[in-house]
Amino acid sequence: MIQSIERTSAPVRSAYKQKISAGIEDVPVKAKNGSMGMLSDYVGITETVPIFCPFHDDRNPSAFVVPNKEINNVGVHCSSSNCSTGGVTQWLKKL
């Protein structure tokens, strides 16, 4: 777990569970506070965490790491309309 990541109280929207991708490889992510880590470092979080999107040139933290508590996994959900993910949550492929 990353110790210095910022937490947000933003609710997990139902869209996160409705759209599920096939699963992505672990990717480096930059937290809102600038700290770097891997997406897999976030497994175990209980609330969404704002990050800079790893899938497009993100000048503002427009994405979130979102937890899926049921399967103990995390994904990236980007809210930018300019993103290649097209608003589909990119779940980490389970190893």
Residues that bind Zn ion (CB under 5 A): 53, 55-56, 78, 80, 83
Minimum CB–partner distance for residue 61 and Zn ion (Å): 10
Q: Which residue has the tokens 């040139």?
A: 57
Minimum CB–partner distance for residue 5 and Zn ion (Å): 18
- CB closer to Zn ion out of 78 and 92: 78
- CB closer to Zn ion out of 60 and 72: 60
How buried is 66 (Cβ within 10 angstroms: 0-12 exposed, 13-18 middle, 19+ buried)? buried
- CB closer to Zn ion out of 29 and 83: 83
Q: How many CB atoms lie within 10 A of CB 40?
A: 15
- DSSP-assigned beta bridge partners for residue 78: 63
Minimum CB–partner distance for residue 71 and Zn ion (Å): 23
Maximum pairwise Cα distance, the chain: 32
